[in-house]
Chain A
Amino acid sequence: MADHALTLERVTKSFGDFRAVDEISLAVPKGSIYGFLGPNGAGKTTTLRMVMSILYPDSGTIEVLGHQNPEAVKDRLGYLPEEKGLYKKMKTAEIVSYFGRLKGLSNHEANRRARDLLTKFGLGDWIDKKCEALSKGMGQKVQILGTLIHEPELVILDEPFSGLDPVNVETVIELILHMKREGRTVIFSTHVMEQAEKLCDYILLINKGKKILDGPLSQVKLGGPRTVIIDYDGDGAVFRSLPRVSRINDAGKTAELTLQDGANPQELLRLLVDRLTIRRFDTREPSLHEIFVRAVGGKTDA
């Protein structure tokens, strides 16, 4: 499995009667960006914590960077937990350097890299400031730099976008792409599908501890239903009379129609042209959001 940074084999973890992670298996190819997607409480954090050997699985095996024992490769991993915090009284360069030293860097090397990283990512003016003076976005950035300082092969970010404004979200996306360019494998979890859609090469959909689906994003999308976006003027009630439409999401001026397998968008257009003023007719792949809602909805109904 040399080409995989991480593989999980039927990993299960329970807390009392509650099964947080239920027989999850997955493989993360080296050098990819891998998204753990799922609603809150789906088991994303528990899975990541097991990879970091903060928790231990009840059963199943985890292989990180080719090692069955994750503790052996701790120094080659970077981890940003879901709940983020810094020592308030430490200076930013000190704390980034401290994280580096904990991962095995020498004092001198850790200090140098900490200053370089902070300068490179626009925090040069904050090197000698205490962490309590940072805004939330800057704090998050400092933390992510702390996970990068030892140049880990595998970076695990748990909800890296939570609580950030759009500008800071862009910064974090920039950081993740930067890691990928340097050849690192990045796993991140999120419940916001838009970011995953923009970034991920591979995704894992997880709900209530169970894997819903996983694979390369492009394949996952092919497997999903096709949709049509229509901008229109007129009475949207007509959509309900269309054949082979499984779901209608009508906002009054724009409607999103999910098609059943085998439906022909051309035929739909012909049917609509006479009854509505069509300003846009756009067929496209399903969004992750739709795939997710459909997959989760399907499972819960079953």
Chain B
Amino acid sequence: MRRIWLVAQREYLENVRTKSFWIGIFLLPVILVLSIVVPVLMEKTRKPRHFAVLDRSGWVLDAVRPQLAQAAGRFVLEAPEADPNDPAAEERLNRMVRDEELFGYFIVGSDPVEGSAGSQYLSRNLTDTDLTDWFGELVSGEVRARRLERERIDPRLAEWIQSPIRFEARKVTVTGEAEEVSAQDRLRQWAPVGFVYLLFFVVFTAAQMLVTNTVEEKSNRIIEVLLSSVSPIELMGGKILGIAMTGFTTIVAWIASFLLITRYVPPMLGAPMTLDFSVITRDPVYLTSFVAYFILGYLLFAALLVGIGAVCNTLREAQNLMGPITILLIIPLFAMVPVGKDPNGMLAKVLSFIPPFTPFVMMNRAAGPPALWEYVATTALLLVSILVALWAAAKVFRIGVLLTGKPPKMSEILRWIRAPVGTVAVRRD
């Protein structure tokens, strides 16, 4: 155990000293801060949109004028002197739009109460609809008021007629009671997705490290010195543990920075704090199952990867063998949306029982949640396959690490796994 710990320690220090580790640690917080700060800054630094109005109705512009003054920071009315019915005015405004003196201009039809006939919006940029949305709403409000007035309809009556029926969403809990849906429930619905991505990330980076470090030890021939001091099993265990520690360091750093950033950065910019994570930390079962699946998922893939690392002598060979593993990792990512939508559906249930997918899919289904027997059965199956994988990896590792030359064929590896320890015939160089 002490030797496993020593190997793990060395492995951890070696990985932590690489640049890519630190890039990985800082990448997420940097992206997160940028994704909060940049939109706010863009909003704050955006130049006001200048626009003009040719009001052919004669009353609309005057009616909305008080609201225009309120929006002066964002939208600025220009060229009030233009004669709405003069064709030359349109040409002049067109030129101003072309020269970017104006973002766009509106022509209000002669009788907007009657309908939209003759109303136009002209701009070079039709994808940015902020201006039309805002102005359209102002004008529509005024027009609607006039229509109600003309038909002698009480505005309150109109509002009541138009009001739709809304269905209040309530969630049926495990205990069979109905409760209100809050923002926390939505978080609960989406947190599993975050966890699936985290697990994917950890397994994927661990894959790189496990394979490259083992291959490095083999090609550097350090492996034999190590084997004179530690047993292959200790070496393998130390590697798996050391790389797990590296991965978890990254994850802890990410979760901490995620919590800190979402808590403190928006208020600094004057935005309200919107997310409350206490729902996750308040529910120990929920959190524990994530941690457990995390560890189990990592162990299963680590066993497969360490076996691959042991039989390869170059990174190129290792990359070829890692192809199937990558596919195993990507399938649960593809299945994430369908499983998330129907957490207790056929697809979700079937995938839960395939060990390499179990941790991903069960986390994904957490909002469902799956029945207790499913938790027990899938986890048992996963545990058994982890033990089998570790046992097989240990045997492959023990033989493979001393092997030079071209990597063994699948049939040869299977023979190693089947044969009792110590009796396997190893090829010579």
User: Which residues of chain A have a CB within 8 Å of any CB of chain B?
Assistant: 14-16, 18, 20, 49, 52, 54-56, 58, 71, 74-75, 77, 79-90, 98-99, 101-103, 143, 146-147
A residues less than 8 Å from B426 (CB atoms): 15, 55
Cα A89 to Cα B226 in complex, Å, equals 16
- Contact residue range for chain B? 20 to 34
Footprint of A on B, CB under 8 Å? 3, 6-7, 10, 14, 17, 216-217, 219-222, 224-231, 402, 422-423, 425-428
Q: Contact: B3 with A102, CB < 8 Å?
A: yes
Distance, CA A75 to CA B2, complexed state (A): 13
9 additional A-B residue pairs with CB within 8 Å, beyond A85-B219, A85-B221, A87-B217: A15-B427, A20-B428, A52-B227, A77-B228, A81-B221, A86-B220, A90-B14, A102-B230, A103-B229
Are B224 and A16 in contact, CB atoms less than 8 angstroms apart?
no
Would you call B221 and A84 a contact (CB within 8 A)? Answer: yes
Chain B residues within an 8 Å CB radius of A54: 224, 227-228, 402
What is the bound-complex CA distance between A20 and B426, given in angstroms?
A: 11
For A16, give its contact among B3, B219, B229, B427 (CB under 8 Å): B427
Q: Find the B residue at minimum CB distance from A104.
A: B2
Q: List the A residue with the shortest CB-CB distance to B14.
A: A89
* A18-B428 in contact (CB<8A): yes
A16 CA / B225 CA spacing, docked (Å):
25
For A56, the chain B residues whose CB sits under 8 A away are: 422
Chain B residues whose C-beta falls within 8 Å of the C-beta of A87 in the assembled complex: 14, 216-217, 220, 222
* A14-B425, A16-B427 known; A79 vs B225 contact (CB < 8 Å): yes
Contacts of A75 in B (CB 8 A): 229
B-side binding surface: helix, strand, loop or mixed? helix
What chain B residues lie within 8 Å of A79 (beta carbons)? Answer: 224-225, 228-229
Which residue of chain B has the shortest Cβ distance to A102 in the bound complex?
Answer: B229
Cα-based distance from A99 to B6 in the complex (angstroms)? 10
List 8 interface pairs A-B (beta carbons < 8 Å), by A numbering.
A15-B425, A20-B428, A54-B227, A77-B228, A85-B221, A86-B222, A87-B222, A143-B225
B224: contacting residue among A77, A81, A103, CB under 8 A: A81
Nearest CB in chain B to that of A156: its residue: B228
The reply to whether B228 and A74 form a contact with Cβ atoms under 8 Å apart is yes
Q: Which of A49, A74, A84, A85 contacts B229 (CB 8 A)?
A: A74
A102→B223 CA distance, assembly (Å)? 13
Cα distance A87–B426 when bound, in Å?
Answer: 26
Q: How far does the Cβ of B124 sit from chain A's closest Cβ, in whole Å? A: 57
A99 & B229 in contact (Cβ 8 Å cutoff): yes
Cross-chain contact of A52 among B6, B220, B228, B425 (Cβ < 8 A): B228
Give the CA-CA distance A143 to B220 in the complex, in Å.
Answer: 13
Distance from B402 Cβ to chain A, minimum over Cβ atoms (Å): 7
Question: Shortest distance in angstroms between B271's beta carbon and chain A's nearest beta carbon?
Answer: 44
Pair B427/A71 contact, Cβ less than 8 Å: no
- Nearest A residue to B220 by beta-carbon distance? A85
Residues of A within 8 A of B427 (CB): 15-16
Shortest distance in angstroms between B386's beta carbon and chain A's nearest beta carbon? 26
B225 lies within 8 A of A81 (CB): yes
Contacting pair A98 B10 (CB below 8 A)? yes
